[in-house]
Structure 1
Amino acid sequence: MNYRGRFAPSPTGPLHFGSLVAAVGSYLDAKSNRGEWLVRIEDLDRQREVPGAATEILKTLERLGMEWDGEIVHQSDRTHLYQDALHVLQSMELIYPCTCSRKEISDSSIMGLQGPVYPGTCRDTRYFPSEAHALRIRTHDDAIEFKDVLEGLHSQRLQREVGDFVLRRSDGLFAYQLAVVVDDAQQHITHVVRGADLLSSTPRQIYLQQLLGYPTPQYMHLPIVTNERGEKLSKQTHAAPIDVSDGLQQLVDAVRFLGQAPPAEIIEGTIASFWQWAFKNWQKNRIPH
Protein backbone atom coordinates (compact mmCIF):
# COMPACT_ATOMS: atom_id res chain seq x y z
CA MET A 1 0.00 0.00 0.00
CA ASN A 2 1.31 3.44 -0.98
CA TYR A 3 1.74 5.72 2.03
CA ARG A 4 -0.46 8.85 2.05
CA GLY A 5 -0.22 11.04 5.11
CA ARG A 6 -1.51 14.52 5.89
CA PHE A 7 -1.21 17.58 8.08
CA ALA A 8 -4.51 19.31 8.83
CA PRO A 9 -4.16 22.60 10.73
CA SER A 10 -7.04 24.89 11.70
CA PRO A 11 -6.49 28.52 10.63
CA THR A 12 -7.20 29.97 14.07
CA GLY A 13 -3.78 31.59 14.26
CA PRO A 14 -0.14 31.12 13.19
CA LEU A 15 1.74 27.87 13.66
CA HIS A 16 3.20 27.46 17.14
CA PHE A 17 5.72 24.89 18.36
CA GLY A 18 3.05 22.32 19.26
CA SER A 19 1.56 22.37 15.77
CA LEU A 20 5.06 22.33 14.28
CA VAL A 21 5.81 19.09 16.14
CA ALA A 22 2.69 17.51 14.60
CA ALA A 23 3.65 18.80 11.15
CA VAL A 24 7.24 17.57 11.41
CA GLY A 25 6.22 14.16 12.77
CA SER A 26 3.67 13.55 10.02
CA TYR A 27 6.03 14.89 7.33
CA LEU A 28 8.97 12.76 8.41
CA ASP A 29 6.92 9.60 8.74
CA ALA A 30 5.50 10.09 5.24
CA LYS A 31 8.71 11.04 3.48
CA SER A 32 10.90 8.48 5.24
CA ASN A 33 8.46 5.88 3.89
CA ARG A 34 8.67 7.42 0.39
CA GLY A 35 5.05 8.42 0.72
CA GLU A 36 2.95 11.45 -0.07
CA TRP A 37 2.21 14.24 2.41
CA LEU A 38 -0.94 16.29 1.92
CA VAL A 39 -2.00 19.52 3.60
CA ARG A 40 -5.64 20.16 4.45
CA ILE A 41 -6.96 23.39 5.99
CA GLU A 42 -9.69 22.59 8.51
CA ASP A 43 -11.68 25.80 8.24
CA LEU A 44 -15.25 24.64 8.82
CA ASP A 45 -15.80 26.99 11.75
CA ARG A 46 -15.42 30.35 10.04
CA GLN A 47 -16.17 32.24 13.27
CA ARG A 48 -12.95 30.92 14.83
CA GLU A 49 -10.87 31.52 11.71
CA VAL A 50 -8.29 34.33 11.84
CA PRO A 51 -8.13 36.20 8.51
CA GLY A 52 -4.92 35.39 6.68
CA ALA A 53 -3.95 32.57 9.04
CA ALA A 54 -4.24 29.82 6.42
CA THR A 55 -1.92 31.67 4.05
CA GLU A 56 0.51 32.37 6.88
CA ILE A 57 0.56 28.68 7.89
CA LEU A 58 1.40 27.62 4.33
CA LYS A 59 4.14 30.26 4.06
CA THR A 60 5.66 29.02 7.32
CA LEU A 61 5.71 25.42 6.07
CA GLU A 62 7.36 26.56 2.85
CA ARG A 63 10.02 28.60 4.65
CA LEU A 64 10.79 25.56 6.79
CA GLY A 65 11.42 23.52 3.64
CA MET A 66 8.33 21.31 3.91
CA GLU A 67 6.92 20.31 0.51
CA TRP A 68 3.38 19.00 0.25
CA ASP A 69 1.95 16.84 -2.53
CA GLY A 70 -1.07 17.81 -4.60
CA GLU A 71 -3.38 20.76 -4.10
CA ILE A 72 -4.29 22.28 -0.76
CA VAL A 73 -7.76 21.17 0.34
CA HIS A 74 -10.07 23.46 2.35
CA GLN A 75 -12.88 21.89 4.33
CA SER A 76 -15.07 24.93 3.69
CA ASP A 77 -15.22 23.87 0.02
CA ARG A 78 -16.34 20.34 0.84
CA THR A 79 -19.59 20.64 2.76
CA HIS A 80 -21.46 18.81 -0.01
CA LEU A 81 -19.35 15.72 0.73
CA TYR A 82 -20.21 15.87 4.43
CA GLN A 83 -23.89 16.28 3.59
CA ASP A 84 -23.75 13.21 1.33
CA ALA A 85 -22.23 11.14 4.15
CA LEU A 86 -24.88 12.44 6.55
CA HIS A 87 -27.61 11.35 4.12
CA VAL A 88 -26.13 7.83 4.04
CA LEU A 89 -26.26 7.64 7.84
CA GLN A 90 -29.80 9.06 7.87
CA SER A 91 -30.89 6.35 5.44
CA MET A 92 -29.66 3.83 8.02
CA GLU A 93 -31.91 5.49 10.64
CA LEU A 94 -28.93 6.34 12.82
CA ILE A 95 -29.37 10.12 12.92
CA TYR A 96 -31.77 12.02 15.16
CA PRO A 97 -32.35 15.69 16.05
CA CYS A 98 -31.34 17.05 19.43
CA THR A 99 -32.55 20.33 20.95
CA CYS A 100 -30.75 19.96 24.29
CA SER A 101 -28.64 22.85 25.48
CA ARG A 102 -25.15 22.35 26.86
CA LYS A 103 -26.43 23.18 30.34
CA GLU A 104 -29.23 20.62 30.08
CA ILE A 105 -26.73 17.94 29.03
CA SER A 106 -24.29 18.90 31.77
CA ASP A 107 -27.01 18.88 34.44
CA SER A 108 -28.29 15.42 33.54
CA SER A 109 -25.13 13.55 32.54
CA ILE A 110 -22.28 11.61 34.00
CA MET A 111 -18.75 12.67 33.08
CA GLY A 112 -16.97 10.78 30.33
CA LEU A 113 -13.70 10.99 28.46
CA GLN A 114 -14.21 14.52 27.16
CA GLY A 115 -16.87 15.99 29.38
CA PRO A 116 -20.52 15.09 29.98
CA VAL A 117 -21.82 11.90 28.35
CA TYR A 118 -24.98 12.66 26.41
CA PRO A 119 -27.82 10.92 28.30
CA GLY A 120 -29.95 10.19 25.24
CA THR A 121 -32.69 12.70 26.07
CA CYS A 122 -33.76 13.16 22.44
CA ARG A 123 -32.88 9.64 21.25
CA ASP A 124 -36.49 8.59 20.64
CA THR A 125 -37.44 11.77 18.76
CA ARG A 126 -39.16 10.80 15.49
CA TYR A 127 -39.65 14.25 13.99
CA PHE A 128 -37.36 17.09 12.99
CA PRO A 129 -38.35 20.25 14.88
CA SER A 130 -38.59 23.66 13.26
CA GLU A 131 -36.34 25.24 15.88
CA ALA A 132 -32.56 25.00 15.75
CA HIS A 133 -31.29 21.51 16.50
CA ALA A 134 -28.15 19.44 16.31
CA LEU A 135 -27.96 16.06 14.60
CA ARG A 136 -26.60 13.18 16.66
CA ILE A 137 -25.67 9.65 15.69
CA ARG A 138 -26.77 6.60 17.65
CA THR A 139 -23.89 4.70 19.17
CA HIS A 140 -23.65 1.22 20.66
CA ASP A 141 -21.85 -0.26 23.63
CA ASP A 142 -19.68 -2.75 21.77
CA ALA A 143 -15.95 -2.21 22.22
CA ILE A 144 -14.22 -0.37 19.37
CA GLU A 145 -10.56 -1.28 19.38
CA PHE A 146 -7.53 -0.09 17.47
CA LYS A 147 -3.78 -0.34 17.86
CA ASP A 148 -1.92 2.93 17.91
CA VAL A 149 1.67 2.76 16.67
CA LEU A 150 2.99 4.44 19.82
CA GLU A 151 0.31 3.97 22.44
CA GLY A 152 -0.63 0.36 21.70
CA LEU A 153 -4.09 -1.18 21.98
CA HIS A 154 -6.98 1.13 22.81
CA SER A 155 -10.59 0.15 23.45
CA GLN A 156 -13.61 2.38 23.91
CA ARG A 157 -17.32 1.78 24.39
CA LEU A 158 -18.93 4.81 22.81
CA GLN A 159 -22.35 4.67 24.39
CA ARG A 160 -21.11 4.66 27.98
CA GLU A 161 -17.89 6.65 27.57
CA VAL A 162 -18.91 9.30 25.02
CA GLY A 163 -22.60 8.96 24.24
CA ASP A 164 -24.37 9.71 20.99
CA PHE A 165 -22.22 12.44 19.47
CA VAL A 166 -22.99 15.41 17.23
CA LEU A 167 -22.39 15.25 13.47
CA ARG A 168 -24.00 18.57 12.60
CA ARG A 169 -24.24 21.42 15.08
CA SER A 170 -27.37 23.42 15.77
CA ASP A 171 -25.86 26.35 13.82
CA GLY A 172 -25.62 24.13 10.73
CA LEU A 173 -21.87 23.53 10.85
CA PHE A 174 -20.64 19.98 10.35
CA ALA A 175 -18.71 18.54 13.27
CA TYR A 176 -15.03 17.68 13.12
CA GLN A 177 -15.67 13.96 13.66
CA LEU A 178 -17.67 13.62 10.44
CA ALA A 179 -15.59 15.99 8.32
CA VAL A 180 -12.25 14.38 9.15
CA VAL A 181 -13.57 10.89 8.40
CA VAL A 182 -14.96 11.93 5.02
CA ASP A 183 -11.80 13.87 4.12
CA ASP A 184 -9.39 11.08 5.06
CA ALA A 185 -11.40 8.58 3.01
CA GLN A 186 -11.85 10.88 0.00
CA GLN A 187 -8.14 11.72 -0.02
CA HIS A 188 -7.15 8.05 0.40
CA ILE A 189 -5.17 8.74 3.57
CA THR A 190 -3.47 5.55 4.76
CA HIS A 191 -1.58 6.89 7.79
CA VAL A 192 -2.72 9.51 10.31
CA VAL A 193 0.04 11.05 12.44
CA ARG A 194 -1.30 13.69 14.84
CA GLY A 195 -1.29 14.84 18.46
CA ALA A 196 -2.31 12.57 21.32
CA ASP A 197 -5.07 15.03 22.30
CA LEU A 198 -7.06 13.37 19.48
CA LEU A 199 -6.42 9.82 20.68
CA SER A 200 -9.81 9.52 22.39
CA SER A 201 -11.57 10.79 19.25
CA THR A 202 -10.25 7.93 17.14
CA PRO A 203 -12.90 5.32 18.14
CA ARG A 204 -15.65 7.72 17.07
CA GLN A 205 -13.95 8.12 13.73
CA ILE A 206 -13.48 4.37 13.33
CA TYR A 207 -17.18 3.91 14.14
CA LEU A 208 -18.13 6.29 11.32
CA GLN A 209 -15.63 4.64 8.96
CA GLN A 210 -17.23 1.27 9.61
CA LEU A 211 -20.76 2.59 9.03
CA LEU A 212 -19.79 4.40 5.82
CA GLY A 213 -17.71 1.55 4.45
CA TYR A 214 -14.44 3.48 4.56
CA PRO A 215 -11.04 1.91 5.26
CA THR A 216 -9.41 2.67 8.61
CA PRO A 217 -5.96 4.31 8.40
CA GLN A 218 -3.06 3.40 10.63
CA TYR A 219 -2.89 5.83 13.55
CA MET A 220 0.11 7.25 15.39
CA HIS A 221 -0.56 9.84 18.11
CA LEU A 222 2.41 12.02 19.00
CA PRO A 223 3.14 13.40 22.48
CA ILE A 224 1.64 16.81 23.22
CA VAL A 225 3.76 19.91 23.77
CA THR A 226 2.77 21.72 26.96
CA ASN A 227 3.74 24.98 28.60
CA GLU A 228 5.26 25.40 32.05
CA ARG A 229 1.79 25.05 33.61
CA GLY A 230 1.20 21.73 31.91
CA GLU A 231 -1.31 23.17 29.44
CA LYS A 232 -1.33 22.13 25.80
CA LEU A 233 0.23 24.80 23.60
CA SER A 234 -2.55 26.55 21.72
CA LYS A 235 -3.90 29.94 20.82
CA GLN A 236 -5.95 29.83 24.03
CA THR A 237 -2.80 29.35 26.12
CA HIS A 238 -1.02 32.16 24.23
CA ALA A 239 1.50 29.94 22.44
CA ALA A 240 4.15 31.97 20.63
CA PRO A 241 4.19 31.72 16.82
CA ILE A 242 7.05 29.96 15.07
CA ASP A 243 10.00 32.26 14.42
CA VAL A 244 10.89 31.40 10.82
CA SER A 245 13.96 33.64 10.99
CA ASP A 246 15.39 30.90 13.19
CA GLY A 247 13.70 28.05 11.35
CA LEU A 248 16.55 25.55 11.50
CA GLN A 249 16.70 25.72 15.30
CA GLN A 250 12.92 25.30 15.48
CA LEU A 251 13.13 22.16 13.36
CA VAL A 252 15.97 20.74 15.45
CA ASP A 253 13.98 21.42 18.63
CA ALA A 254 10.94 19.70 17.11
CA VAL A 255 12.76 16.46 16.23
CA ARG A 256 14.48 16.44 19.62
CA PHE A 257 11.07 16.71 21.27
CA LEU A 258 10.12 13.65 19.20
CA GLY A 259 13.06 11.71 20.62
CA GLN A 260 15.37 12.00 17.64
CA ALA A 261 19.07 12.76 18.11
CA PRO A 262 20.42 15.13 15.47
CA PRO A 263 24.19 15.63 15.66
CA ALA A 264 25.39 18.95 17.08
CA GLU A 265 26.80 20.07 13.75
CA ILE A 266 23.38 19.89 12.08
CA ILE A 267 22.60 23.36 13.45
CA GLU A 268 25.57 24.72 11.47
CA GLY A 269 24.07 23.52 8.19
CA THR A 270 21.01 24.48 6.18
CA ILE A 271 17.35 23.57 6.32
CA ALA A 272 17.88 21.41 3.23
CA SER A 273 20.71 19.47 4.88
CA PHE A 274 18.59 19.09 8.02
CA TRP A 275 15.84 17.38 6.05
CA GLN A 276 18.33 15.12 4.27
CA TRP A 277 19.58 13.95 7.66
CA ALA A 278 16.10 13.68 9.12
CA PHE A 279 14.67 11.55 6.29
CA LYS A 280 17.51 9.07 6.60
CA ASN A 281 17.51 8.89 10.40
CA TRP A 282 13.82 9.05 11.38
CA GLN A 283 13.15 6.42 14.07
CA LYS A 284 9.62 6.39 15.38
CA ASN A 285 10.56 3.86 18.05
CA ARG A 286 12.46 6.72 19.72
CA ILE A 287 9.34 8.91 20.10
CA PRO A 288 8.33 9.24 23.76
CA HIS A 289 4.99 7.71 24.67
Structure 2
Amino acid sequence: MAAVASTSLACPPNFSGLRRLSDTKLDNNAALSMTTTQSFFQHLRRSTSTSTASRASVVAMAGTGKFFVGGNWKCNGTKDSITKLVADLNSASLEADVDVVVAPPFIYIDQVKNSLTDRIEISAQNCWVGKGGAFTGEISGEQLKDIGCKWVVLGHSERRHVIGEKDDFIGKKAAYALSQGLGVIACIGELLEEREAGKTFDVCFQQLKAYADAVPSWDDIVIAYEPVWAIGTGKVATPQQAQEVHVAVRDWLSKNVSPEVASKTRIIYGGSVNGSNCADLATKEDIDGFLVGGASLKGPEFATIVNSVTAKKVAA
Protein backbone atom coordinates (compact mmCIF):
# COMPACT_ATOMS: atom_id res chain seq x y z
CA MET A 1 0.00 0.00 0.00
CA ALA A 2 1.44 3.36 -0.95
CA ALA A 3 1.88 6.17 1.52
CA VAL A 4 -1.27 8.06 2.45
CA ALA A 5 -1.86 10.80 -0.06
CA SER A 6 -3.85 13.04 2.25
CA THR A 7 -5.26 12.81 5.73
CA SER A 8 -7.46 15.86 5.84
CA LEU A 9 -10.66 15.81 7.84
CA ALA A 10 -12.68 17.05 4.91
CA CYS A 11 -16.31 15.99 4.79
CA PRO A 12 -18.27 15.80 1.55
CA PRO A 13 -19.63 19.17 0.38
CA ASN A 14 -22.66 20.47 2.31
CA PHE A 15 -22.37 17.67 4.86
CA SER A 16 -21.10 18.37 8.38
CA GLY A 17 -22.06 15.19 10.22
CA LEU A 18 -25.11 13.56 11.69
CA ARG A 19 -27.95 15.83 12.74
CA ARG A 20 -28.24 16.84 16.37
CA LEU A 21 -30.02 14.36 18.60
CA SER A 22 -30.50 16.55 21.65
CA ASP A 23 -34.27 16.39 21.26
CA THR A 24 -34.33 12.71 20.39
CA LYS A 25 -34.22 9.84 22.87
CA LEU A 26 -31.58 7.25 21.95
CA ASP A 27 -33.19 3.87 22.21
CA ASN A 28 -33.24 0.64 20.27
CA ASN A 29 -36.16 1.79 18.13
CA ALA A 30 -34.91 5.28 17.29
CA ALA A 31 -33.90 5.93 13.70
CA LEU A 32 -32.06 8.90 12.30
CA SER A 33 -33.95 10.88 9.71
CA MET A 34 -32.44 10.68 6.26
CA THR A 35 -34.23 13.77 4.97
CA THR A 36 -31.15 15.97 4.81
CA THR A 37 -28.64 13.26 3.96
CA GLN A 38 -30.44 10.99 1.52
CA SER A 39 -28.83 12.37 -1.63
CA PHE A 40 -25.42 12.30 0.01
CA PHE A 41 -25.66 8.62 0.86
CA GLN A 42 -27.04 7.81 -2.59
CA HIS A 43 -23.88 9.44 -3.95
CA LEU A 44 -21.68 7.44 -1.58
CA ARG A 45 -23.38 4.23 -2.55
CA ARG A 46 -22.66 4.87 -6.23
CA SER A 47 -19.03 5.81 -5.59
CA THR A 48 -17.95 3.31 -2.91
CA SER A 49 -19.80 0.05 -3.51
CA THR A 50 -20.06 -2.48 -6.26
CA SER A 51 -23.52 -3.66 -7.20
CA THR A 52 -24.36 -7.23 -6.28
CA ALA A 53 -25.37 -7.89 -9.86
CA SER A 54 -21.83 -7.29 -11.08
CA ARG A 55 -19.96 -9.62 -8.73
CA ALA A 56 -19.66 -13.35 -8.54
CA SER A 57 -20.20 -13.40 -4.75
CA VAL A 58 -23.73 -13.64 -3.41
CA VAL A 59 -22.91 -11.76 -0.22
CA ALA A 60 -24.13 -8.15 -0.14
CA MET A 61 -21.12 -6.31 1.21
CA ALA A 62 -19.70 -2.98 0.10
CA GLY A 63 -16.22 -4.12 1.05
CA THR A 64 -14.44 -7.06 -0.50
CA GLY A 65 -13.16 -8.73 2.69
CA LYS A 66 -14.61 -11.70 4.53
CA PHE A 67 -17.19 -11.12 7.28
CA PHE A 68 -15.34 -10.61 10.60
CA VAL A 69 -16.59 -11.22 14.14
CA GLY A 70 -14.45 -10.52 17.20
CA GLY A 71 -15.26 -11.26 20.83
CA ASN A 72 -13.76 -8.87 23.38
CA TRP A 73 -13.88 -10.60 26.77
CA LYS A 74 -12.53 -7.48 28.52
CA CYS A 75 -11.60 -7.95 32.21
CA ASN A 76 -13.84 -10.98 32.70
CA GLY A 77 -13.41 -14.65 33.41
CA THR A 78 -11.75 -17.23 35.63
CA LYS A 79 -9.91 -20.40 34.69
CA ASP A 80 -13.11 -22.38 35.24
CA SER A 81 -15.49 -20.04 33.40
CA ILE A 82 -13.11 -19.75 30.46
CA THR A 83 -12.75 -23.53 30.29
CA LYS A 84 -16.54 -23.72 29.94
CA LEU A 85 -16.66 -20.91 27.37
CA VAL A 86 -13.93 -22.53 25.26
CA ALA A 87 -15.78 -25.87 25.39
CA ASP A 88 -18.95 -24.14 24.12
CA LEU A 89 -17.03 -22.46 21.31
CA ASN A 90 -15.30 -25.71 20.34
CA SER A 91 -18.65 -27.45 20.01
CA ALA A 92 -20.38 -24.62 18.14
CA SER A 93 -21.25 -24.90 14.46
CA LEU A 94 -19.84 -21.78 12.79
CA GLU A 95 -20.39 -20.60 9.23
CA ALA A 96 -17.24 -21.13 7.18
CA ASP A 97 -17.12 -17.74 5.45
CA VAL A 98 -16.39 -15.71 8.61
CA ASP A 99 -13.12 -14.73 10.28
CA VAL A 100 -13.65 -15.34 14.00
CA VAL A 101 -11.40 -13.89 16.72
CA VAL A 102 -11.61 -13.80 20.52
CA ALA A 103 -9.70 -11.51 22.88
CA PRO A 104 -9.23 -12.99 26.37
CA PRO A 105 -7.57 -11.12 29.23
CA PHE A 106 -3.77 -11.31 28.97
CA ILE A 107 -3.38 -13.88 31.77
CA TYR A 108 -5.70 -16.37 30.05
CA ILE A 109 -4.38 -16.07 26.49
CA ASP A 110 -2.12 -19.08 26.84
CA GLN A 111 -4.91 -21.21 28.32
CA VAL A 112 -7.26 -20.27 25.50
CA LYS A 113 -4.63 -20.72 22.79
CA ASN A 114 -3.85 -24.23 24.02
CA SER A 115 -7.49 -25.35 24.23
CA LEU A 116 -9.49 -23.44 21.61
CA THR A 117 -10.13 -24.79 18.13
CA ASP A 118 -7.84 -23.45 15.41
CA ARG A 119 -11.00 -22.24 13.66
CA ILE A 120 -10.94 -19.23 16.00
CA GLU A 121 -7.93 -16.91 16.18
CA ILE A 122 -6.63 -15.18 19.30
CA SER A 123 -6.38 -11.45 19.89
CA ALA A 124 -4.97 -9.40 22.74
CA GLN A 125 -6.97 -6.49 24.12
CA ASN A 126 -4.06 -4.03 24.08
CA CYS A 127 -0.29 -3.82 23.62
CA TRP A 128 2.60 -1.47 24.27
CA VAL A 129 3.55 1.25 21.79
CA GLY A 130 7.00 -0.15 21.03
CA LYS A 131 9.59 -2.78 21.82
CA GLY A 132 9.44 -4.38 25.24
CA GLY A 133 11.71 -3.35 28.07
CA ALA A 134 11.42 -1.43 31.34
CA PHE A 135 7.67 -0.76 31.02
CA THR A 136 6.04 -2.17 34.13
CA GLY A 137 2.62 -3.67 33.51
CA GLU A 138 2.81 -3.52 29.72
CA ILE A 139 2.82 -6.31 27.12
CA SER A 140 4.79 -5.97 23.90
CA GLY A 141 3.78 -6.97 20.40
CA GLU A 142 6.74 -9.35 20.30
CA GLN A 143 5.42 -11.15 23.38
CA LEU A 144 1.94 -11.42 21.90
CA LYS A 145 3.34 -13.00 18.76
CA ASP A 146 5.45 -15.35 20.88
CA ILE A 147 2.37 -16.84 22.56
CA GLY A 148 0.41 -17.18 19.34
CA CYS A 149 -1.73 -14.04 19.10
CA LYS A 150 -2.74 -13.00 15.59
CA TRP A 151 -4.57 -9.76 16.45
CA VAL A 152 -4.71 -6.91 18.93
CA VAL A 153 -7.57 -4.53 19.79
CA LEU A 154 -6.39 -0.90 19.86
CA GLY A 155 -8.13 2.40 20.50
CA HIS A 156 -11.09 0.91 22.36
CA SER A 157 -13.19 3.59 24.04
CA GLU A 158 -12.34 2.23 27.47
CA ARG A 159 -8.66 2.79 26.70
CA ARG A 160 -9.40 6.27 25.36
CA HIS A 161 -11.85 7.54 27.96
CA VAL A 162 -10.96 5.56 31.10
CA ILE A 163 -7.20 5.14 30.69
CA GLY A 164 -6.72 8.40 28.79
CA GLU A 165 -4.95 7.24 25.62
CA LYS A 166 -4.75 9.91 22.92
CA ASP A 167 -5.34 9.55 19.19
CA ASP A 168 -1.70 9.90 18.13
CA PHE A 169 -0.52 7.45 20.80
CA ILE A 170 -3.04 4.88 19.56
CA GLY A 171 -1.90 5.43 15.98
CA LYS A 172 1.70 4.74 16.99
CA LYS A 173 0.58 1.58 18.81
CA ALA A 174 -1.14 0.39 15.64
CA ALA A 175 1.94 1.03 13.53
CA TYR A 176 4.19 -0.90 15.89
CA ALA A 177 1.77 -3.82 16.22
CA LEU A 178 1.60 -4.09 12.44
CA SER A 179 5.40 -4.03 12.25
CA GLN A 180 5.44 -7.11 14.47
CA GLY A 181 3.04 -9.01 12.25
CA LEU A 182 -0.11 -8.54 14.31
CA GLY A 183 -3.45 -7.66 12.76
CA VAL A 184 -5.07 -4.58 14.32
CA ILE A 185 -8.72 -4.15 15.25
CA ALA A 186 -8.71 -0.34 15.21
CA CYS A 187 -11.56 1.12 17.23
CA ILE A 188 -13.22 4.47 16.66
CA GLY A 189 -16.41 6.02 18.02
CA GLU A 190 -18.09 9.04 19.54
CA LEU A 191 -19.41 9.90 23.00
CA LEU A 192 -23.11 10.56 23.52
CA GLU A 193 -22.58 14.31 23.86
CA GLU A 194 -20.58 14.34 20.64
CA ARG A 195 -23.37 12.58 18.77
CA GLU A 196 -25.97 14.92 20.22
CA ALA A 197 -23.86 17.88 19.09
CA GLY A 198 -23.72 16.56 15.52
CA LYS A 199 -19.98 15.77 15.78
CA THR A 200 -20.07 12.03 15.10
CA PHE A 201 -18.23 12.28 11.79
CA ASP A 202 -15.74 14.88 13.06
CA VAL A 203 -14.75 12.60 15.93
CA CYS A 204 -14.55 9.43 13.86
CA PHE A 205 -12.59 11.11 11.07
CA GLN A 206 -10.09 12.59 13.57
CA GLN A 207 -9.53 9.12 15.05
CA LEU A 208 -9.15 7.63 11.57
CA LYS A 209 -6.64 10.33 10.65
CA ALA A 210 -4.44 9.38 13.62
CA TYR A 211 -4.28 5.81 12.33
CA ALA A 212 -3.72 6.93 8.73
CA ASP A 213 -0.89 9.28 9.75
CA ALA A 214 0.96 6.44 11.48
CA VAL A 215 0.40 3.15 9.67
CA PRO A 216 2.36 2.15 6.55
CA SER A 217 -0.40 -0.13 5.24
CA TRP A 218 -4.04 -1.00 5.86
CA ASP A 219 -3.67 -4.61 4.74
CA ASP A 220 -4.03 -6.05 8.26
CA ILE A 221 -6.41 -3.52 9.79
CA VAL A 222 -10.09 -3.99 10.61
CA ILE A 223 -11.93 -0.82 11.66
CA ALA A 224 -14.40 -1.25 14.52
CA TYR A 225 -16.98 1.54 14.81
CA GLU A 226 -18.19 1.51 18.40
CA PRO A 227 -20.40 4.43 19.47
CA VAL A 228 -19.43 4.90 23.10
CA TRP A 229 -23.04 5.49 24.16
CA ALA A 230 -23.90 1.98 22.98
CA ILE A 231 -21.07 0.03 24.64
CA GLY A 232 -22.31 -1.98 27.60
CA THR A 233 -25.39 0.20 27.97
CA GLY A 234 -27.96 -2.07 26.38
CA LYS A 235 -28.56 0.63 23.80
CA VAL A 236 -27.60 -0.20 20.25
CA ALA A 237 -27.39 1.93 17.15
CA THR A 238 -30.18 1.16 14.75
CA PRO A 239 -29.04 -0.56 11.56
CA GLN A 240 -29.48 2.72 9.70
CA GLN A 241 -27.50 4.72 12.30
CA ALA A 242 -24.63 2.26 12.07
CA GLN A 243 -24.80 2.14 8.27
CA GLU A 244 -24.64 5.95 8.05
CA VAL A 245 -21.32 6.01 9.90
CA HIS A 246 -19.89 2.95 8.15
CA VAL A 247 -20.54 4.35 4.67
CA ALA A 248 -19.04 7.69 5.71
CA VAL A 249 -15.93 5.94 7.08
CA ARG A 250 -15.56 4.05 3.81
CA ASP A 251 -15.89 7.30 1.88
CA TRP A 252 -13.25 8.95 4.10
CA LEU A 253 -10.85 6.09 3.39
CA SER A 254 -11.52 6.40 -0.33
CA LYS A 255 -10.80 10.14 -0.35
CA ASN A 256 -7.94 10.23 2.17
CA VAL A 257 -6.16 6.90 1.70
CA SER A 258 -7.26 5.19 -1.53
CA PRO A 259 -10.34 3.66 -3.18
CA GLU A 260 -8.60 0.27 -2.98
CA VAL A 261 -8.19 0.53 0.80
CA ALA A 262 -11.78 1.71 1.14
CA SER A 263 -12.97 -1.35 -0.74
CA LYS A 264 -10.93 -3.99 1.04
CA THR A 265 -10.90 -2.66 4.62
CA ARG A 266 -13.53 -4.31 6.76
CA ILE A 267 -15.62 -1.96 8.90
CA ILE A 268 -17.32 -3.79 11.76
CA TYR A 269 -19.85 -2.56 14.31
CA GLY A 270 -19.63 -2.82 18.10
CA GLY A 271 -21.97 -1.64 20.82
CA SER A 272 -24.37 -3.98 22.66
CA VAL A 273 -24.46 -6.44 19.76
CA ASN A 274 -26.32 -9.61 20.74
CA GLY A 275 -28.06 -12.63 19.30
CA SER A 276 -31.31 -10.73 18.85
CA ASN A 277 -30.12 -7.67 16.94
CA CYS A 278 -27.15 -9.02 14.97
CA ALA A 279 -29.12 -10.25 11.95
CA ASP A 280 -30.79 -6.87 11.35
CA LEU A 281 -27.46 -5.08 11.65
CA ALA A 282 -25.76 -7.58 9.35
CA THR A 283 -28.16 -6.82 6.51
CA LYS A 284 -26.57 -3.40 6.01
CA GLU A 285 -24.13 -3.40 3.12
CA ASP A 286 -21.31 -1.51 4.85
CA ILE A 287 -21.43 -3.51 8.09
CA ASP A 288 -18.78 -6.16 7.56
CA GLY A 289 -19.10 -7.87 10.92
CA PHE A 290 -19.05 -7.16 14.64
CA LEU A 291 -16.89 -6.56 17.69
CA VAL A 292 -18.87 -8.12 20.53
CA GLY A 293 -18.57 -7.46 24.24
CA GLY A 294 -20.81 -9.11 26.82
CA ALA A 295 -22.47 -11.52 24.39
CA SER A 296 -19.07 -12.98 23.49
CA LEU A 297 -18.90 -14.48 26.98
CA LYS A 298 -21.83 -16.75 26.09
CA GLY A 299 -20.70 -19.40 23.62
CA PRO A 300 -24.06 -20.21 21.97
CA GLU A 301 -25.00 -16.53 21.60
CA PHE A 302 -21.59 -15.65 20.17
CA ALA A 303 -22.06 -18.45 17.63
CA THR A 304 -25.42 -16.92 16.66
CA ILE A 305 -23.68 -13.60 16.03
CA VAL A 306 -20.97 -15.26 13.94
CA ASN A 307 -23.64 -17.04 11.91
CA SER A 308 -25.53 -13.78 11.26
CA VAL A 309 -23.42 -13.64 8.10
CA THR A 310 -26.30 -15.59 6.55
CA ALA A 311 -28.43 -12.45 6.83
CA LYS A 312 -26.14 -10.79 4.28
CA LYS A 313 -26.63 -13.47 1.69
CA VAL A 314 -28.96 -12.55 -1.14
CA ALA A 315 -30.38 -14.38 -4.09
CA ALA A 316 -27.95 -14.53 -6.98
Query: TM-score, normalised to structure 1's length?
Result: 0.29
Question: Which has more radius of gyration?
Answer: 1
Higher strand content, 1 or 2: 1
User: 1 or 2 for the larger relative contact order (CA 8 Å, sep ≥6)?
Assistant: 2
